[in-house]
Amino acid sequence: MAINYSGGKKNPDLENIQAELYADSVTFRDRTIDIIEGFKSGTDVYESKTSVAMQDGSTDAVTATGDINMQVQKSAVALKSIQYSDVIDDAVLFGTRFEKSMSAGAFNQVSDEFDKKVLIQIAPAIGEDLESKLWNGATTATKTAVAASTLSASFKATVAAMPVTLFDSIPVRALYNDSNSKVVAGAGVADSVKITGTTITSANIAAEYSKLYAGSPDKVINATTGTAKIFAPLAHRQLIKIANNAVGAAQQVNFLVEGSGVSEKISYNGIEIEFHPLVSIMILTLPEYLKVLVDLVGDMSYLEIDKMANGAQKRYIKNKQSIATWVTNQRYITIYG
């Protein structure tokens, strides 16, 4: 018998959904700096300094001389409460491949495939955004304070060009903060070593790294209680390799590149370089002096997803965190900009 068919033919779906490429949140994953959990807003951060002076030997009773001077200062750090949230209208998925995985029934419009293949991307997107803001950004209030400070014009311009964020990034803290452990306690320019540089290219990157290296305190370079590192923009990885592979008589291998892929390590004069989403700034210091204070690291990847109230056939999604950046031992932090 003849078969009559009316209607269009369904196009086949490409099985894989091509996901966005998200930048890795190296800071949190590898704890490249000091990540401290269990903080609530207003937590005190302590720093100590001790200085001693030599005296002539004596058999007399010890008297108070002030030749051993111990100082302890505390600074209260306020954490900023932040969140990522929105409403999901699953009805938008009707007529798409995702409708196939919705359970039968008018009230059932949640797609299991959508949750497993698309919604799952929210966590890495949050990680990428946080990683970016840890290394580049300043609050409106801090931008105003920096503009009125005694920082050099180049550093002021760098901060002014940063995106406005809800908390200050690590480089901003290394330039301007309200620590009580500075020479001049309270809000103002940081005690960090500041080096004015220029726009870095593959042609001058070795020379500019030498400025950072030479300008850093020898205590940091030769530290035995920790290992100094350079924190540099992501783009420097490419510029370093171009500089190392320059063709001609001027070719010099100024950076040591070991391994490849995820195991690759790059160093300058024995100082390992960590690449982060910094912009126009490099930092050389002991990693433990750069701090991220959080309530719980796991908050970054925790998503609360549930139905909206009052019978609405929509879902809400929410991620909430508390976070702040901080720097200690500022005189041993060298920042290039």
Averages of pLDDT over runs of 10 residues in the chain (337 residues) are 46 55 77 83 76 86 86 85 88 74 69 76 89 96 97 96 97 96 94 96 95 96 94 96 80 87 92 96 97 81 81 84 94 96
Specify the DSSP class assigned to residue 96.
S
Q: How far apart are CA 299 and CA 280, in angstroms?
A: 30
Q: How far apart are CA 296 and CA 291, in angstroms?
A: 14
How would you classify the pairing of strands 229-233 and 282-285? antiparallel
Q: What's the pLDDT score for residue 107?
A: 64
Q: What's the pLDDT score for residue 255?
A: 95
Q: What's the pLDDT score for residue 44?
A: 79
Other Cβ atoms closer than 10 A to 284: 27
Question: Which residue intervals of 79-234 are DSSP H helices?
Answer: 112-117, 122-135, 140-147, 153-161, 170-175, 205-215, 218-221
Q: What's the pLDDT score for residue 271?
A: 96
One-character DSSP codes across 3-24: ----SPPPPPPPSS--PPPPPP
First to last CA, the chain: 81
